[in-house]
Chains A and B, each alone.
Chain A
């Protein structure tokens, strides 16, 4: 079972896409239900005083949106980094990559691309 799980993390080619779409979805959802987000935000960071002062201004709303966006993106980047690290730590550099005319340090970037998650990144 553990083995299967590992395989899934390493081999599921669309995991990057789904994580990304999930995070975008979460952003949209959180933005649509702003009031509940505000509650979460307020309770989580104990900044009621400050928040109450600025929440009625345009800047305050922008800040609350951007906080949601950035914190969601931070979670996305964290998940992606863990998966990528997982990928890199377990993937042996493919032989054709090692045969390319590159210095050993540059081979890392080609190895980076062989991570299945990394395939969602532009070439």
Chain B
């Protein structure tokens, strides 16, 4: 079942185009990663998704309902921004009251339960909290509203390893128990790889790939090839070759849309041995976007 559907989304600031025709879907109960280099439009996309910005063109639907200026849809949504600038002079307990007033589904008991693990003093003012503590507060406030979809923009920045693990466990529990959908952006691709079921990659405001983690990983193949006589002539310009490096006659090649036909071609061109080895998301991200930049 589709939870979020983004179709042909365009958004710009003045003459600057930030998002150009982005379309993808997020399935209910999945953890979806949104990745892209700095300035690729991730945060703008998140802000359109949370109804902060109105799209210039296209649609963003949550359960087939438009999100912008729609409190009913926004009520199902939790949002943790990259910088959580709550009222600096309010105490945590006052922020809890604000969330209680804004979200009918907010549970004070659940907030207290989550806070037991986080250890935040509710009498403290927001301005007295560190960056990591503010992030923890934002996460547990948003978990306590029991959202259908939780949108996290760089959520683990400034959080220590223990708290990070506890927060990931809390999120995963909510996903398992209530089929909560999570959309997360992060520059830590290892985290995304371990945490997400599906991903979307954007580069310079355009979609470069979307699908399950396996589908995206299938887009590129990492090969170890032995060329005893050296590389075939013009190898760097071969279609699909994204990157290669070598130690002696052993070459490591990242190849887009690699298939059996190309494998045979390699043997014909003097390869003594061709083997596929596991590719990481980081490598795919690095070389797919590098290719985009070079083009």
Contacts and interface: CB of A to CB of B under 8 A. Distances in A.
Interface string A88-123: 000000111011111110000010011010010001
Interface string B88-108: 111000100110001100000
A110 to B, nearest CB: 8
A31 interface: no
Contact of A119 (B85, B86, B90, B103): B90
Contact of B102 (A94, A101, A104, A114): A101
A102 B51 CA distance: 10
Given A95-B81, A96-B79, A123-B94, A102 B87 contact: no
Contacts of B77: 99, 101
Chain B interface residue bracket vs A: 20 to 34
B84 interface: yes
B76 to A, nearest CB: 8
B71 A101 contact: yes
B50 A101 contact: no
A101 to B, nearest CB: 4
A13 interface: yes
Nearest to B86: A96
A101 B85 contact: no
B89 A13 contact: yes
Contacts of A103: 69, 71
A119 B98 CA distance: 13
B81 A96 contact: yes
Interface string B119-155: 0000000000000000000100000000000000000
Contacts of B50: 98-99
Given A95-B81, A119-B89, A104 B94 contact: no
Contact of B52 (A13, A98, A110, A114): A98
A123 B52 contact: no
B23 to A, nearest CB: 22
A116 B81 CA distance: 21
Nearest to A106: B71
Contacts of B103: 100-101
Nearest to B75: A101
Interface of B: 47, 50-52, 69, 71-75, 77, 79, 81, 84-90, 94, 97-98, 102-103, 138
22 contacts: A94-B85, A95-B47, A96-B138, A98-B52, A99-B52, A100-B74, A100-B102, A100-B103, A101-B71, A101-B74, A101-B75, A101-B77, A101-B103, A102-B71, A104-B69, A110-B98, A114-B87, A116-B89, A119-B89, A119-B90, A123-B94, A123-B98
